[in-house]
Amino acid sequence: MNKTRAVYPGSFDPITNGHIDIIKRAGFLFGNLTVAVIDNPSKKCYFSKKERMFMIRKSIGEAGIKGVTVDSFRGLLVDYLRKTGQNIVIRGLRAVSDFDYEFQMALMNRKLYGKIETVFLMTDAKFAYLSSSLVREVARLGGDVRCLVPKVVAKKIKKLK
């Protein structure tokens, strides 16, 4: 197992089983992974930053994933990377449309901070349709999300109803 440090940034609102799959695989590849929760006060999130971080930690623990820390940041990812001395960014891809957006972001990040390397991991096919926004929509309309998210997330969502 490699001991190189990597960062998997996102809003994780909420974390899904697809995110857990990427975390597990990135953790295996890099050995030292930080899941960095974006704290964007202008974005209306379903869960608070504190709740999202709690659910990520709990989900990682329940999945038996080791070598992963959870942190948060505000502002630009490149500033967070500079501050923490990291330069590898993990991004998950589900479809070609994800690639278009993520490719633009990777190039912009590299323009802003030339040391950044972005590693794209394709999702497992069983999670190709899954997104946090889809989970929120299903939950908002009263659907059962237990097969889409870790147990702790499903419980939190059920309490919101």
Q: Which residues are catalytic?
A: 19, 43, 94, 132
HEC string of 134-150 equals HHHHHHHCCCCCCCCCC
DSSP H/E element including 28: helix 17-30
Strands 32-38 and 117-122: unpaired
The residue among 97, 120, 25 whose CA lies nearest residue 65 is: 25
